[in-house]
Amino acid sequence: MKRNLALLLAVAIMASLVLSACAPTGSGTPSDENTNTTTQDPAGDSGSQSTEKRDTVNLSIKANLQSIDGHGVRNLQDMLVRTQMYEGLYYLNESTLELEPRIAESYEVSDDGMTYTFTLREGVKFHNGDELKPSDVIFSYERCAAAPGWGSRTASFESAEEIDDHTVAIHLKYPDASFLANMTGVYIMSEKVVTEQGDEFGTKVALAGTGPYMITYLDNDVKWTLEAFPDYYRGEAAIKYINYTPIADFSAGLLAFESGELDW
């Protein structure tokens, strides 16, 4: 129970950090330690408050990653990483239950409810620096639809086609009122990166996403590191590094937290 509670709290903390972290930040190098700067009133007023700025967060998690493949088997520890790396065409705000534009900036629905036409945001880049293209969206939908365990997200998906350089049409098998909500979980990934890595994709560092963080270090027995993507179209995150350390034993994790090695 304690382990599950700690893990759930870690998820909540990470969600809060990412939602509030989209602000410019300076350059730096990965570190296992918290990096802080303290700003004080120039006049030395003892009554003024100091401001602490941190660019690294160190977290524990009880299990190793199985895969960073955005269309891989879904479990909690993997989703912690994937949700920072990848995005869908839209995002479902769980607080307001409203759809928010991400990779797509708008959409239209045909009169029969069988075709959704999405206008893609210009200038969206993958973590390897390549600009996102309609073909990446088509590849991602077709790949996700064929992936085991994703049937609930793609049950109504029939096909996708490129209309022009910034427009994709998705055709359904039947009118589906849940399609828009479901498609927020279909992550768009770089066709080039996924294809080049082949069967190894998901098990090693891969710059295949468009999200606010990219994975830059992956050693399942030691840690994995997410780094803020400097070219993220919504602005670079203020928290530059997120280090996850796998610690299965709750007591060991608690000792690491008390010693300052972990923030949670």
* Tens digits of residue pLDDT in 101-123: 999 999 999 999 999 999 999 99
pTM given for the model: 0.78
Residue 209 has pLDDT above 80, yes or no: yes
Is the model's pLDDT at 10 over the cut of 60? Answer: no
Question: Does residue 8 carry a pLDDT above 70?
Answer: no
Does residue 223 or residue 198 have the better pLDDT? 198
DSSP-assigned letters across all residues of 82-103: HHHH---SEEEETTTTEEEESS
How high is the pLDDT of residue 255? 67
* pLDDT confidence of residue 29: 36
User: How sure is the predictor about 259, in pLDDT bands with cuts at 50, 70 and 90?
Assistant: low
More reliable by pLDDT, 62 or 33: 62
Dihedral (CA of 29, 197, 59, 186) sign = positive
pLDDT of res. 257: 60
The pLDDT assigned to 250 comes to: 64
* DSSP category for residue 14: H
Region label for 123, one of left (φ > 0), alpha (ψ between -120 and 50) or beta (otherwise)? left
Does residue 13 have a pLDDT over 80? no
- Res 31 pLDDT > 90: no
**Lookup: tokens for 207:** 């710059």
Average pLDDT on 234-259 reads 78
Q: How many other CB atoms sit within 10 Å of the CB of residue 250?
A: 15
Burial class of 260 by CB neighbour count within 10 A (0 to 12, 13 to 18, 19+): exposed
| Mean pLDDT in residue range 174-185 | 95
Pair 107, 119: CB distance under 8 Å:
yes
Q: How many CB atoms lie within 10 A of CB 123?
A: 9
pLDDT tens, residue by residue, 69-92: 999 987 877 888 899 999 999 999
Torsion of CA 14, 24, 38, 58, to 10 degrees: 30
- pLDDT, mean over the chain: 82
User: Please, which residues have CB within 8 angstroms of residue 71's CB and are 6 or more apart in sequence?
Assistant: 140, 143, 144, 147, 150, 187, 189
Share of residues in the chain with pLDDT > 70 (%): 74
Query: What is the share, in percent, of the chain residues with pLDDT greater than 90?
Result: 59
What are the structural domains of the chain?
90-194 (3.90.76.10)
pLDDT at 33: 44
pLDDT at 27: 33
Confidence of residue 239 (pLDDT cuts 50, 70, 90): very high
